[in-house]
Chains A and B, each alone.
Chain A
Amino acid sequence: MITVSSARKNYGDFVALDDVSLTIPSGSLTALLGPSGSGKSTLLRAIAGLEGIDSGVVSIAGVDVTREPPQRRGIGFVFQHYAAFKHMTVRDNVAFGLTIRKRPKAEVRRKVDELLEIVGLDGFQHRYPSQLSGGQRQRMALARALAVDPRVLLLDEPFGALDAKVRAELRHWLRRLHDEVHVTTVLVTHDQEEALDVADRIAVLNRGRIEQVGDPVSLYEKPANEFVMSFLGSVARLGGQLVRPHDIVLERDRLAALAADARTPASPGVVTATVERVVRLGFEVRVELKADSGERFAAQVTRAEADRRRFQPGETVHARADRPADATEAEPALAI
């Protein structure tokens, strides 16, 4: 378990961590999610000891490590840009932590081979980092971090430098690895999809503060505020309220729309809009709309529905929210 209590960190006038308290349960895979400058990387580096904090306490497995250097925190750290030891082979990279600890050669060799097999780099022992792809380098970095049997594994935007396809692959791979190894893992990311995909817990950070902590489903379904809602998943603003684009229902018949809306509590009301564009994104279809008030928003419908309804650019529709987000402050619904 990792506990951070009342951590503060300033860089001159910039507040990187503003009284942050967070508990990360043992064996969990927690994502620190937030935009750049939200303090998520600073928080991770503070847990690692790569960054000091101005005040507050960091403890790992019940031990106060606030004043301990990274060497004595029992951590494994993975950097966004791999931080591969360029002059060492893959084997020497992974063995580094064990060599430093002067473990017997045979044990080192066995452990390194075992880890390389786990991360799928078996047979790459004698390559140099420059001979590996980005994804392979990052898997090597993971093996290197795991070699020292860390109590916690800290990953700083680990897939940020990789292209979309490799990123998705590694994400699933990391999830499977975590299910096997069960080491407490903290992952920093600015990619909400990544957080929702791999993490079992997400802490959303904004401007050096933690906005909400919870499991992916509850964060998505019950966001604590507009920031969390708009950061986790896409949103549309309908009648002054934030709603999920897939919750927007488009009706051609105004009366039907009003009748359905009347049955929906705390709804943002019915907004009359003009279809501007219909974009097919594989399975889903995005209908881009312009409200009579001039505000633009998008609704998301399934392909089947789009095929059935055949929305055309230029036509007028009536939009309502099927299930308004109950988290957002109840703003006065538009008068019908």
Chain B
Amino acid sequence: MTTTRRSVLTLRTLALAYVLGLVAVPILVILFRTFEPGLAVFIESIRTPAAIAALNLSVLIVAIVVPLNVVFGVVTAIALARWRLPGKGLIQAVVDLPFAVSPIVVGVSLIMLWGASGWFGGLQSSTGIRVIFGLPGMVIATIFVTLPFVVREVEPVLHEIGTEQEQAAATLGASGWQTFWRITVPAIRWGLTYGVVLTVARALGEFGAVIMVSSGFPGVSQTLTLLVHSRYIDDHNTYGAYAAATLLMGLALGTLLLMTLLDRKRSPR
């Protein structure tokens, strides 16, 4: 008995050390380095025009991507959980594809599709809309890498709640839309919230796919993540990179906090 207990304790210590060492320590180091010179220095570092532009761009991309992923993610999840579709397995695999494909490959393929000499390259010459090296390219790349989150969080919840509540609503006279808004949406709310949080975090942090399709000009087409990279690699501005990284983390944590608070306010218990 004592040996089992000892091994359990060892296992717990190992698991905790693993999490702390690999996740918590690096984050704490960044926070420490950021605030070491004082708050004023930090604020100054994130108030440069390039940093403000990068923050705005990142938030803009999130603001476009999240609603799109919520709408299409929920519809896809409902289709997968409720409808009788031929080739459902194939759709499941496609939804998971962004998890499997390296983001950099996504960037390359987007250039091949939308670049000046790509399949849809004609769009740029005919309409003047620049997809690659412009905002649309970054949005498409971000959508690609964040697509699975909402679907994968909502679909199991739909399976779990089953169809009885929806059928009950129908027998009580509710139309399809009324049932969706009054019964389905409240029931999947937690899954959806979590999916949105993951989407926001990933959209803010996406690097590989976005760097391929962005021109990376400071103040124009640099997201916050790209700013961290360029400050560190190109400008050798180590402190600036730490500061921008802290801002990025703050943004993601802020989203998580906000969503939790909003949900608690709306949720009965």
The interface of chain A, by Cβ under 8 A from chain B, is 48, 50, 69-71, 75-77, 79, 81, 83-87, 89, 96-97, 100-101, 128, 141, 144-145, 147-148
Contacts and interface: CB of A to CB of B under 8 A. Distances in A.
A71 B189 CA distance: 25
A48 B171 contact: yes
A102 B186 CA distance: 20
A75 B186 CA distance: 25
Contacts of B170: 50, 69-71
Contacts of B267: 87
Minimum-distance CB pairs A-B, first 6? A97-B172, A83-B164, A77-B171, A83-B168, A87-B186, A70-B170
A79 B164 contact: yes
A148 to B, nearest CB: 6
A71 B173 contact: yes
Interface in B65-123: none
A177 B178 CA distance: 30
B175 A85 contact: no
A83 B165 contact: yes
A50 B165 CA distance: 12
Given A100-B178, A128-B268, A128-B269, A83 B173 contact: no
Contacts of A128: 268-269
12 contacts: A50-B167, A70-B167, A76-B172, A77-B171, A83-B164, A84-B165, A85-B183, A87-B189, A96-B169, A96-B172, A100-B173, A147-B172
B174 A96 contact: yes
Chain A CB within 10 Å — which of B168, B178, B187, B189 has the most? B168
Given A77-B167, A77-B168, 20 more contacts: A50-B167, A71-B171, A79-B167, A81-B164, A83-B164, A83-B165, A83-B167, A83-B168, A85-B169, A85-B183, A87-B186, A87-B189, A87-B268, A96-B174, A96-B182, A97-B173, A97-B174, A100-B174, A145-B172, A147-B172
Interface string B103-147: 000000000000000000000000000000000000000000000
Chain B interface, >50% SS class: helix
A145 B187 contact: no
Nearest to B266: A87
A97 B167 CA distance: 13
Given A85-B183, A87-B268, A148 B172 contact: yes
A51 to B, nearest CB: 10
Given A79-B164, A85-B183, A101 B173 contact: yes
Chain B CB within 10 Å — which of A83, A86, A97 has the most? A83
A141 B267 CA distance: 22
Chain A CB within 10 Å — which of B165, B173, B186 has the most? B173
Given A87-B187, A100-B174, A100-B178, A79 B268 contact: no
Contacts of B186: 87
A32 B66 CA distance: 50
A77 B174 CA distance: 13
Contacts of B189: 87
Contacts of B175: 71
A237 B114 CA distance: 81
A79 B169 CA distance: 12
Contacts of A81: 164
A76 B171 contact: yes
Contact of A71 (B164, B174, B182, B187): B174
B17 to A, nearest CB: 38
A96 B183 CA distance: 10
Nearest to B164: A83
A206 to B, nearest CB: 26
Interface in B12-57: none
A50 B171 contact: yes
Contacts of B171: 48, 50, 70-71, 75-77, 145
Interface in B168-209: 168-175, 178, 182-183, 186-187, 189
B2 to A, nearest CB: 41
B192 to A, nearest CB: 13
Nearest to B185: A87
A117 B170 CA distance: 25
A84 B173 CA distance: 15
A81 B186 CA distance: 19
Nearest to B170: A70
Contacts of A148: 172-173
Contacts of A76: 171-172
A58 to B, nearest CB: 14
Chain B CB within 10 Å — which of A48, A76, A86, A141 has the most? A86
Nearest to A45: B167
